[in-house]
Structures are given as structure tokens and as C-alpha cells.
Amino acid sequence: MMKGLKKWRLFSLLAVLTVFLAGCGQEELSTLLPAGQVGRDQFNLLILSSVIMLVVIIVVVTIYVIALVRFRRSKLGEDFIPEQVEGSHKLELVWTVLPILLILLLAVPTVYYTYKLGDVAAMGEVDEDGNPENLIVDVTAKLYWWEFEYPDLGIVTAQELVVPMDEKVYFNLIAADVKHSFWIPAVGGKLDTNVDNVNKFYLVFDKDSNDIKNGDGVFYGKCAELCGPSHALMDFKVKTMPRPEFDQWVTSMQATGEKQIVANEQGEEVFNQSCIACHAVSAVGGSNEKQGPNLATFGDRNRVAGFMDHDKESLIDWIKDTQKHKPGNKMPSFGEQLSDQELDVLAEYLMGLSVEQ
Amino acid sequence: MDLNKKFTPETWPEHPEKATLEAKNKFVGFWLFLGGETILFATLFATYIALKNSGPSGFGFSTQELYELPLVFVMTMLLLTSSLTSVFAMYHLRNYNFKKMQLWLAITALLGLAFLMLEVYEFSHYVGLGFTFNNSAFSSAFYTLVGTHGFHVAVGLVWITLLLIRNAKRGLNLYNATKYYTFSLYWHFIDVVWVFIFTVVYLMGVIG
Amino acid sequence: MSSVAQKKSFGATLWDWLTTVDHKKIGILYFLGGGFFFVIGGIEAMLIRWQLHKPDNDFVSAGLYNDLITMHGTTMIFLAAMPLLFGFMNAIVPLQIGARDVAFPFLNSLGFWMFFFGGLFLNISWFIGEVPDAGWTSYASLSLASQGHGIDFYAIGLQIAGGGTLMAGINFLVTIINMRAPGMTYMRMPLFTWTTFVASAMILFAFPPLTIGLFLLTFDRMFGGNFFNHEMGGNTIIWEHIFWIFGHPEVYILILPAFGIFSEIFSIFSRKRLFGYPSMVFATVLIGFLGFMVWAHHMFTVGLGPTANAIFAVATMAIAVPTGVKIFNWLLTIWGGSITVTTPMLYALGFIPSFVMGGVTGVMQGAAPLDYQLHDSYFIVAHFHYVIVGGVVLAILAATHLYWPKMFGTMLNEALGKVTFWFFFIGFHMTFLIQHWLGFWGMPRRVWKFMPNQGWDMANLISTIGAFFMAIGVIVLVYNVIITSIKNVKVANDPWGDGRTLEWAIESPPLYYNFAQTPLVRGLDSVWIEKMEGNASGLTPAEPVKDIHMPNGSIIPLLMSLGLFIAGFGAMFRTETEWGLGVLIFGLVFTFIAMAARSLQDDTGYYIKKEEILRDLKRKGGQN
């Protein structure tokens, strides 16, 4: 019976393995389930190159297996001396020319897509009234969080990028401290945020992030360049929505300069004493105005600190001991400065900061 | 190999620097080493070209205003002449004329020393103006490129001085002929690098 | 066993090894040094995999994790793979070309000791507790921001070790150019010699940029330079260029000798001449050349612009052509041969599919727009482990079994060898195949931990289990080495029976002067030719027995390296301690004095008398 059980376990393990090997990963962060034109172009190139490479592998393995089966010394006899063939110009020509053709097959679309994806000429275009035609987002990568400024809209946010669907969104990328890399696997990747210069590229978002199956309403973004101890935790999230919804979101963002929801007045007081030096709760402004992330949309977000569950306990946990959760980040731990009661009301207040309600 | 074997100008081989297998090895090896050195300097040149004139905001130095072209021209002449004198020395090496070879090499070393002292003067002059190694990417790249060359000159000077003193009483043999010869190769190499520095750093810096 | 071998005291033996300039002994030293660092790098790898075996693991801290990945990469590339290959090059290449030693025996020793002290310097960081933590690439903005002395250890340690590598490269070049036996033309050289030659040429041109890059980093970190400090006008991208101008050729420096080793193995164990030898040589040279033209494919996402990316993408793909030629030539070598699956052959057979996998994923990443997705994801981790483990490490393990008798005079156990292979091979594919998918699924590389619910848990667990298989394989190999060394059953000249090149026609291990008489080479696979024509010894001498010129041993290489090692600490602690500057100067002066001592003394070697050689010949029954 034990034996049977073991067999069954092995079988299920193999089944899981197969599913995984054939699997496409999770919609919110898999490059195999592209949710935009850029990612789809890259995915097409992946399929094309995989097919070509599969052909190569099959040819090699076939010759290899046949040779291995046919020409064994155990079959040929211990004393068999094979003919010492020097080579064959014909064959060698074949396996020089064929790979060149295969490479050309891959090189042409490669060059085409390289120019297509690198085309940011339309970035600064304006219509007759002088309004910019395309949405531009300035991304500043910092240890270990992301700042997103919408320069033409006069608003700024952090950790959660909000973008409209079905249009090209252009990005200006830079890092404030050390080099990072901006990557939204499901939508298309990726471009480094250098410290020395601004990098530009565009992405297109096709899919509403609320429609992600089994997801939490966001696409996942990653930092893809080693940037220090908490590189692994330098995540951000992306919310996509139809243009009208986005416009609405922008309007309420622009309004945070004047009025705000205050879920807990005591919490606001604590905030004004301990947090306001580094964090803004008004989304009106630009990059690098405050040292820490803008919190105007904090209640709408999906994660605390980019990767922790979005609830009050996690938030309190985070504020108490930031270094434990994200070693090397720039926010001090407040476990000793703030009492439990203060933390509680502060968390209440922060969770109430919202533009979507 | 017998160090005490005596030669006359007649029995002395035409290419004493590669008359034995060991010598041939050194000869080829040294050429290869210079190949590596070329890449080394090429990397420094590339870095310099990328960083020249770039500094923190408000940085006050530019290649046009900084460089002392007349001084550098004198240095160039000194080093070029020293390359020529080392050629004379090699001529006498071929002809087994030890004394004249030593003499020309000593002149080479003196010219090299003069070059080096002028370079030290040049650097201290720039530092006096406030253009220090630490004050910009440009200054770091400049001092590193030109300084690496200067360091090579210094190494060459120590090398030839030791060779001259060590062999002063012994005369030429097939063992030290290779050493003299590789030194002269090295010295020419340094000279060529300087020609590039003079052109790329100084001339193009002031004019271009 | 040998009439000349006498019982020596431990001290005398140690002194002998510390001062040796014999290429065979230096080969063994490289092998031992490289093996030691291979085990250390392996332990680091196991800790990395254990940290990632489940989500949100707290086995190691974030800082320590970055130390581990940095040291794993640096150690494996610079201190394990290269020295191990150098070990085989030293032990075998002079024999393959019929030489009695390398061109510069003294420099050979210096190269080894610089590698060793450089590696030691790097690893001492573990004891100081300030370990390099910016990845083996140490990209400038992060490496400048890194606290403590970690990156200083990286910069100075690699500087010392890199100097040693450069010397080794020049040495092999001159050896192969000048020291070939009569008749050994370039187009008769065994392929391992050819690949060593091309790899050495690549070292000559690739390491100077690394030297400069490390100097600039050192200046920036320790002497107030501003090369990479963008606030002072510097530019971090310069580091990336310099690093990859070195770094890309570096991987070819590793893989070409591996190709050479496999070429020997396919030929020996198929009893067949290498198919298309001239095109194999040409492909090797072409790969070496193209290796310098493609560095920016590591920087597709840096933002160099579409034109640069397109050019480098196409250039990268072009490398697939000569590599493909090699693969097919190997296949046609075993085709029509008489294949016997010994342990080395098993590795060679395992290499073909593994390396093809690594090669094709390389071409995929050469397609720049696709690389935007794959770059710095787990896909790239899978790719470079497929080429480096599936190519280089398999070659090293294969060569360990193949050349063990030639280096140590005894065979490794074949059964255990095959056990090692299967554990290692299965473990390797289990560890790295799944990582391609982790990359597709959005997992970035160099992550200290990952959160659950991203679909990565199972794949990471599988990968970790595979790593343990590989570890078991290595442990079995170590056990194999130990028991066979204890048994120490002596073997004949050609224990594999089908040796084709000169090293298989002399004793195992060879006498210290290698060849009693320099052999005459009459074609490719000269020993095979001789044997087929009925000359059982496999050698035709090119000269009568005569006195042999040999170099003297010297302790100076060790002392010079030691001086640099000491100076390294001085440079590092120069500003914060009173003794720093003094130690820096002391170390440099120490090295200089050792060097001057070498230069001023006339060390022209010594001669082995004809009588002694005749005595050895007689003992061996008149054969070489």
C-alpha cells in the first residue's frame, strides 16, 4: 500500500511539473501572457526564436542519438579501427550556410522591433492648442521605491502607477541614488533607470487590471537591477483603466491639493508631527519634492511598502520597524517614537487617504 | 648559456636579441606584452575622451585654458630625442660596441629624466591652479591617463639604470643583449603613447 | 618507483612545491587552488539555493545574500573556472606540442601565486565581515554606494589575480609560438592547444581593460577619483562598457578551452580523427575575434539607443554560426567512429545537448527587443549557467577524469566517475531548466527573497533540489579522488588505450624534463599515426640524446605576490588607519626588491647531463 501511495505521489508530482513546464505563469506578471503591444511584440519574437531554436535542437539531437546508437564499440568490436575521415567541404558548407539563413530569419524582425520599440519621436508632440498629445510619466527610482510624476498634469504619486488603456504611454526614467531597472513583465520590458541620464521608452496597456483572473486588481512591476539589500522587495504595482476613468482619477488627484478625506483626526495630528517632513498627502506637485513617497492615494493601494499585505496590522508593523522589513531603506523605524495608540490612529488615517472613493 | 663566453664584433650574431631560445621567447613575449599595454592605454584614452571637460556644475577648468602647450611641446621633443638616442644605442648593440651603447643609453635615461621632471612640474603647476585629481571627472581622467604614462617612464628609468649599473663592468653577452633590446622596445612604445597623448590630450584639447 | 625519487622531508617537499617552476607541478597547483575555490563557490551556491527554496525565507539576511551572490559569481569565474582550466593547460599543452616546459617558467609560477594571493585576498573579506556585495559585475553606482570595504576587496583582489592571468596568457602564447617540436606546424596542433592559444590571445586583449576598470574603481573608492561619480561629471556607463569589454571575451576565454577538451575527448573515444579540423580551427579563431565585438549585448537595456542595440544584436547572432560549425563537426566526429562511453566521454556526450540549450537561449537574448524582457530575469541566470556549467564545468570535470592519470599517474574510479556524472548532470538540468520559466514568469535575478502567490514557489523548490543533486555529485568526486589516491595504482603511458597526441606517448606522470628526446611530428594526431604505422612507442625522436637545459626553481614569485597582497591591505586601510600608508609602501617596496633581486641575479638555469637521461631511458626499456 505504501508503495502504491509513493507511486501516486510521484505521479502527482510529475503532473504538477508538466503543468508548470507548459504553464504560462500568472497574468499579473508573466511575460508569456502579454497585456500590451510592446509585450506582445516581444512575445512574438520569443515564439519565433523559440521555433527556430527548436529546429536546431531537434536536428542536433537526432544526429546525436543516431550516432550514439549506431557507432558503439560494443557493436563494432574491440579492434575496429574507423576510417580516419578528414572532413567534408560539402557538409561543412551546409552547416555554415543553413545557420546563416536561420539567423537572418531572426535578425530581420529583431532589427525591425528594435527600432519600433525604441521610437519615442512622438513623445513631445502637441496638438493645435499646445496640449501634449501623449501621456508622459516621469519615473524616479529610489532606494527602494518608485515615484511617478505626470508632468503635464501636475500630479505625482508613488508605488502605484495609474495609466489609461489602449494608448502609448511614454516614460522618462531616471534613478535618484543608484541604478535600478524599470520592469512590468506582463506589459513589456524593460529599461534601466541610470543615475547619469534620462532614458525614454513607451508601453501600451491593453488589459484592465481589474480583469486579471485571480488577481488583486493590479499588474506587478519589478526592479530588475541589483540595487542593494532590498532590491528583491523593490516592487511596484500598475493599475490600468479606460481613458474616462483615468481622467476622473486625474481630476480627483488634482483636487487633493485643496481637500482631503480625514478618516481619523488624531491620526492626522500624529502624521503632521512625525511624518510630514518626508511625506506629502497632496498629490499636486512633482518629483523629488519630499524625501519619501507621496501618500495621497495610500488607501487605494494594493500593498504596504510595495510588497506587504495592505492592512492596518502590516502598516503598523512596517512603521514600527522599517529596517526589519526592507533592510537598507531610507525610512527610520518609529517603533520607539510612537506609542501603540498613536500608531493605531496613524494607520487609520493613512488607510483613509484615497482618491478613488 | 655561458655568460662568460667572449665575443668579437665578428663572432657577435647579427640579431643578438634573439640568438637563443630564451631570448626569442623574451622577444616575442615582450611584443605581446606591448600589445596588451596598447589596449590598456586605449581604455584610458577612451575614458579620457568620454570625460574631458566634464565636471560638477560650476566647474571652472577647460582643456583650452588649462594646458601649457609650449611646456608640453618641450617635453615631447625631449622624449622623441630620447627615442632616437635609444636607436643609436641599439645600433651599437648590434655592432658589439658596449661602451658606446652604454653611453647612448645613459643619454636616453637623462632625457627621460628631464621629461619626467618637467611632467612633475606641469602637474604641480596645475595643482597650484586648483586643478586637482579630486575635483572633477575630467581631472581624474587627465591625471590617470598622463600619470600612467609618466609612471611607465619612471619604470623605464629605474629599469635602464639598474641595467646600466649591473652590466657596467661585464660587457655584452647574449643574456643581457635581450634585456637591453626589450628596454629599447619599451622605450619606443612609451614614446609612441606620448605622441598620442600629445595629439589627443593637448593638441586636440587646445585647438580642437 | 623511480630511481631518482628519494625520500624527502616534509619541509623539503613543501619548499619544492613553493619554489617550483615545472609546468606540471604548477598545473597541479592551479588545479588544487581552483578546486579549493570551486568548493567554496559551491557552498555559496548551496546557501543561495537554500535561501530560495521557499517563499519569504529568512535563512540568510538581505546583506549576506548579496555577499553570497557576489562572491559566488566572482569566485566561480575568476578563482575556480579559470584556474582549473589553467591547471589543465599547464599540465597538458607543453606535452601536446612536444616541449620541455613553458616559455617563461618563472612567470608561470608568478602567475599562479598572484592568482592564489588575489583569491585569498578576496576571501579574507569573509573574516573581516565586509564582503563585496554589488554583484560580480559591480556596476558603478551601486559599487560606489556600497558601505565598508567589501568592494575594495573585490577591486584589489581581482587586480592581483588578474595580473596573474595576464602573465599566464602571454606565457601560453609564447610557448605555443616558439616551443613547438619539429614538425608541429600550426595546422597540426591538437585542438586543446589551439583553443588555449586563442583563449590566451583573448586574455591578452581582454584583461587590460579590466585592469583599468578596477583601477578607476579603486581610485574612486579609495583615492577620491570621480570617474563614476555623476555629480562630479563622471559617468557610470563607462564602467559598464569597460567591464563588458573585458567580461564578454572572458566567457569565451572560459568556453574555448572547454571546446578544446571536448574535441580531444570525442576524437579519443571515437577512435577517429576530428572531423573538419581546419574548420574547427577557423571557427575557434572566429569565435575569439567576434567575442570582442558583442559586449554591448549585455547592455541592451541601458538605453544605448536602437541603432547600437540593432548592430550588437546582429553581431551577437553571428557568433552562433561558428559555434554551430563546431557542434556539427563534433557530431560528425563520433559519426562513423567506434564510441566507447568512458567517464570523460560521458561528460562530452552530456555536454552536446546541454551546451546547445545554452547556445540557443543565447541567440534568443541576442534578439534585443526580446532581451528587454529576459535581461536580468531568471532566464539569464538559466542561460549563463547552461553555458558555463553545461559547457565549462562539464569540460573541467571531463578533463579531471581524462587527464588525471597524466597528472597524477593513477586512474580515477570509472564507476564512481559515472555516478558523479549522473548526479551532476541530472541535478544541473533540474536546477537550471526550470529557471528559464521563472524568468518568463517575471522573476528578476539577484533577489534575496520572493513573496508567495507569484507562481514561483514550486519552480524554486525544484531548482533547489537539483542543486543538492549537483552537490552530491561533487562529493562523490571528492571521495573518488581520495580513495584512488590512497590506492595509487600506477598506470602506463596511455591508460585510455586510444591516445592520439604526444602527451599519451610519455610516462604518466612524465619525468620532469618531459621528453628524453624532442619528438618529430609528422602530422595531426602524431602518436596515432606512428602507432598505425607500427611504431608502438608512438614517438619518433627528432634529435639524439643530449644534455637538456632546465630552469631553476625560485621562491621569488611567491614573495612578489605576497608583497602585492600586503600592499592591498595598506591601500584599503590607508585613510582610516595610521599604518595603512606605511603598509602600502612596504608591500610595494617588498615586491620591488624581490623583482630587482630576480633581475640582478643571472639565473640561466642548469643542464641535465646526457648520462642521467640515458639511465632513465634504460630503466624504461629504451622508450621515451
Give the pLDDT confidence of C223-253 residue by residue, as tens digits.
Answer: 999 999 999 999 999 999 999 999 999 999 9
Hey, of C270, C299, C339, which one would you mutate to test binding to chain A, going by the most A CBs within 10 A of its CB? C339
Residue C13, C-beta contacts closer than 8 angstroms, at least 6 positions apart: none
Residues from chain C that touch A177, judged by Cβ atoms under 8 A, are 141, 145
Residues from chain C that touch A21, judged by Cβ atoms under 8 A, are 434, 437
Say whether residue C540 is in contact with chain A using an 8 A CB cutoff: no
Hey, of C373, C429, C525, which one would you mutate to test binding to chain A, going by the most A CBs within 10 A of its CB? C373
Residue C13 placed within a domain = no
Q: What is the mean pLDDT of chain A?
A: 90
Q: C475: distance to nearest CA of chain A, Å?
A: 26
Give C14-73 pLDDT, tens digit per residue: 999 999 999 999 999 999 999 999 999 999 999 999 999 999 999 999 999 999 999 999
Q: B141: distance to nearest CA of chain C, Å?
A: 7
Say whether residue C235 is in contact with chain B using an 8 A CB cutoff: yes
Q: C159: distance to nearest CA of chain A, Å?
A: 23
Segments making up each domain of chain A, as ranges: 265-352
The pLDDT score that the predictor gives to residue C576 is: 86
Q: Where would I find the beta strands (DSSP E) of A74-218?
A: 135-142, 145-150, 155-158, 160-164, 168-175, 180-184, 188-193, 199-204
Instruction: Tell me how far apart the alpha carbons of residues C451 and C54 are, in angstroms, rounded to a whole number.
Output: 9
Contact: chain A with chain C (3+ CB pairs below 8 Å): yes
- Cα B15–B19–B22 angle (5° rounding)? 135
Give C548-573 pLDDT, tens digit per residue: 999 999 999 999 999 999 999 999 99
> What is the greatest pairwise CA distance in chain C?
78
Contact: chain C with chain B (3+ CB pairs below 8 Å): yes
C313 has pLDDT over 80 = yes
Residue C454 placed within a domain = yes
Q: What is the mean pLDDT of chain B?
A: 92
Q: B198: distance to nearest CA of chain C, Å?
A: 21
Closest Cα to residue C361, out of C347, C377, C349? C377
Q: What is the DSSP letter of C151?
A: H
Q: A155: distance to nearest CA of chain C, Å?
A: 26
Q: A140: distance to nearest CA of chain C, Å?
A: 15
- Alpha-carbon Rg for chain C in angstroms: 24
Residue range A265-352, CATH number: 2.60.40.420
Say whether residue C386 is in contact with chain A using an 8 A CB cutoff: no
The pLDDT score that the predictor gives to residue B8 is: 84
Interchain pair A178, C458: CB under 8 A: no
A17 has pLDDT over 60 = no
Residue B79 placed within a domain = yes
Instruction: Taking residues C93-101, report their average pLDDT.
Output: 95
Query: What own/partner pairs with CB < 8 Å and gap ≥ 24 does C453-460 have?
Result: C454/A26, C454/A29, C454/A220, C454/C55, C455/A23, C455/A25, C455/A26, C455/A30, C456/C55, C457/C54, C457/C55, C458/A16, C458/A20, C459/A20, C459/C434, C459/C435, C460/C52, C460/C53, C460/C54, C460/C55
Residue B109 placed within a domain = yes
Cβ–Cβ < 8 Å for C348, C391: no
Instruction: Taking residues A26-49, report their average pLDDT.
Output: 93
Interchain pair A114, C450: CB under 8 A: no
Q: B98: distance to nearest CA of chain C, Å?
A: 19
Instruction: Tell me how far apart the alpha carbons of residues B195 and B11 are, in angstroms, rounded to a whole number.
Output: 38
C585 has pLDDT over 90 = yes
Residue C571 placed within a domain = no
Q: C25: distance to nearest CA of chain A, Å?
A: 35
Phi, psi of C121 (to 5 degrees): -55, -50
Phi, psi of A140 (to 5 degrees): -120, 120
Q: What is the mean pLDDT of chain C?
A: 94
CATH number where C125 lies: 1.20.210.10
Hey, of C267, C269, C301, which one would you mutate to test binding to chain A, going by the most A CBs within 10 A of its CB? C301
Closest-approach residue (CA) in chain B for C235: B51
Cβ–Cβ < 8 Å for A212, A27: yes
Say whether residue A79 is in contact with chain C using an 8 A CB cutoff: no
The pLDDT score that the predictor gives to residue A16 is: 55
- The one-letter amino acid at A348: E
Closest Cα to residue C203, out of C252, C240, C159, C136? C252
Cβ–Cβ < 8 Å for C104, B25: yes
Interchain pair C231, B56: CB under 8 A: yes
Interchain pair A86, C273: CB under 8 A: yes
Residue C4 placed within a domain = no
Residue with cell 558583442: C294
Instruction: Tell me how far apart the alpha carbons of residues C82 and C172 are, in angstroms, rounded to a whole number.
Output: 14
Instruction: Tell me how far apart the alpha carbons of residues A89 and C275 are, in angstroms, rounded to a whole number.
Output: 11
Residues from chain A that touch C275, judged by Cβ atoms under 8 A, are 85-88
C7 has pLDDT over 70 = no
Q: C233: distance to nearest CA of chain A, Å?
A: 9
Instruction: Tell me how far apart the alpha carbons of residues C55 and C68 are, in angstroms, rounded to a whole number.
Output: 18
User: How does residue C427 score in pLDDT terms, banded at 50, 70 and 90?
Assistant: very high
Interchain pair C212, B1: CB under 8 A: no
Locate A248 and state its grid cell.
476622473
Q: What are residue A200's DSSP bridge partners?
A: A172
Residue B7 placed within a domain = no
* 3-state DSSP assignment of residue C619: helix
Interchain pair C324, A26: CB under 8 A: no
Residue B119 placed within a domain = yes
C2 has pLDDT over 60 = no
Q: What are residue A241's DSSP bridge partners?
A: A164
A2 has pLDDT over 90 = no
Phi, psi of A163 (to 5 degrees): -135, 150
User: Domain containing B80: what range?
Assistant: 16-54+61-206
User: How does residue C599 score in pLDDT terms, banded at 50, 70 and 90?
Assistant: confident
Interchain pair A20, C376: CB under 8 A: no
Residue with cell 612640474: B121
Chains that touch A (3 or more CB pairs under 8 A): C
Window 246-285 of A: residues touching C by CB (8 A cutoff) are none
Residue C87 placed within a domain = yes
Closest-approach residue (CA) in chain A for C273: A84
- First-residue to last-residue Cα distance in chain B: 55
Interchain pair B1, C224: CB under 8 A: no
Interchain pair A46, C459: CB under 8 A: no
ipTM: 0.94
The pLDDT score that the predictor gives to residue A1 is: 42
Closest-approach residue (CA) in chain C for A223: C444
Instruction: Taking residues A100-129, report their average pLDDT.
Output: 92
Interchain pair C103, B29: CB under 8 A: yes
The CA dihedral of A61, A64, A65, A68, to the nearest 10 degrees, is -160
**What are B's interface residues with C at a Cβ cutoff of 8 A?**
1, 3, 21-22, 24-25, 28-29, 32-33, 35-37, 39-40, 43-44, 47, 50-51, 54-56, 59, 133-141, 144, 162, 166, 175
Residue B93 placed within a domain = yes
The pLDDT score that the predictor gives to residue A18 is: 52
Interchain pair B137, C234: CB under 8 A: yes
Q: What is the DSSP letter of C410?
A: B
**Cα dihedral sign, C485-C491-C493-C496:** negative
- The one-letter amino acid at A261: I
Number of domains forming the structure of chain C:
1
Instruction: Tell me how far apart the alpha carbons of residues C536 and C623 are, in angstroms, rounded to a whole number.
Output: 10
Low-confidence stretches of chain B (pLDDT beneath 70): 1-3, 208
Interchain pair C440, A100: CB under 8 A: no
Instruction: Taking residues A319-348, report their average pLDDT.
Output: 94
Residues from chain B that touch C103, judged by Cβ atoms under 8 A, are 25, 28-29
- First-residue to last-residue Cα distance in chain C: 16
Residue A193, C-beta contacts closer than 8 angstroms, at least 6 positions apart: A139, A140, A141, A173, A174, A175, A179, A180, A181, A182, A199, A225
The pLDDT score that the predictor gives to residue C3 is: 39
A15 has pLDDT over 70 = no
Cβ–Cβ < 8 Å for C238, C212: no
C395 has pLDDT over 80 = yes
Number of domains forming the structure of chain B:
1
Instruction: Tell me how far apart the alpha carbons of residues C581 and A105 are, in angstroms, rounded to a whole number.
Output: 60
- Neighbouring CB atoms inside 10 A of C610's CB total 14
A7 has pLDDT over 60 = no
C285 has pLDDT over 70 = yes
Instruction: Taking residues C425-447, report their average pLDDT.
Output: 95
Give B20-76 pLDDT, tens digit per residue: 888 999 999 999 999 999 999 999 999 999 998 888 888 888 888 899 999 999 999
Interchain pair B133, C225: CB under 8 A: yes
User: Domain containing C185: what range?
Assistant: 18-554+603-619
Residue B84 placed within a domain = yes
Residue B8 placed within a domain = no
Instruction: Tell me how far apart the alpha carbons of residues C55 and B44 are, in angstroms, rounded to a whole number.
Output: 45
C98 has pLDDT over 80 = yes
Say whether residue C137 is in contact with chain B using an 8 A CB cutoff: no
Give A150-174 pLDDT, tens digit per residue: 999 999 999 999 999 999 999 999 9
The pLDDT score that the predictor gives to residue A323 is: 94
Interchain pair A327, C321: CB under 8 A: no
- The one-letter amino acid at C315: A
Give C472-524 pLDDT, tens digit per residue: 999 999 999 999 999 999 999 999 999 999 999 999 999 999 999 999 999 99
- Helix extents (H) in C52-181: 62-74, 82-96, 105-128, 140-145, 150-178
Instruction: Tell me how far apart the alpha carbons of residues A72 and C353 are, in angstroms, rounded to a whole number.
Output: 19
Closest Cα to residue C54, out of C469, C443, C457, C468? C457
Q: Tell me, letter by letter, the H, E, C secondary structure of C426-486.
A: HHHHHHHHHHHHHHHCCCECCCCCCCCCCCCHHHHHHHHHHHHHHHHHHHHHHHHHHHHHH
Q: C176: distance to nearest CA of chain A, Å?
A: 24
Closest Cα to residue C33, out of C168, C208, C130, C137? C168
The pLDDT score that the predictor gives to residue C554 is: 94
Give C174-196 pLDDT, tens digit per residue: 999 999 999 999 999 999 999 99
Closest Cα to residue C279, out of A60, A83, A92? A92
Q: How far is residue B79 from each of residues B35, B131, C379, measured CA to CA in Å?
A: 21, 25, 54
Residues from chain B that touch C211, judged by Cβ atoms under 8 A, are 40
Instruction: Tell me how far apart the alpha carbons of residues B178 and B173 are, in angstroms, rounded to a whole number.
Output: 9
- Helix extents (H) in chain B: 21-51, 63-66, 69-94, 98-128, 137-167, 174-196, 204-206
Instruction: Taking residues C442-466, report their average pLDDT.
Output: 94
Q: How far is residue A79 from each of residues A137, A302, C271, C497, C500, measured CA to CA in Å?
A: 74, 73, 10, 11, 16
Residues from chain A that touch C271, judged by Cβ atoms under 8 A, are 73, 80-82
Window 309-338 of A: residues touching C by CB (8 A cutoff) are 327-328
DSSP C313-356: HHHHHHTHHHHHHHHHHHHHHHTTS-B---HHHHHHHHHHHHHH
C208 has pLDDT over 80 = yes
User: How does residue C4 score in pLDDT terms, banded at 50, 70 and 90?
Assistant: very low
The CA dihedral of C221, C225, C231, C232, to the nearest 10 degrees, is 170
User: How does residue A13 score in pLDDT terms, banded at 50, 70 and 90?
Assistant: low
A357 has pLDDT over 80 = no
Pairing of strands A188-193, C548-550: unpaired
Cβ–Cβ < 8 Å for A48, A106: yes
Residues from chain C that touch B133, judged by Cβ atoms under 8 A, are 223-225
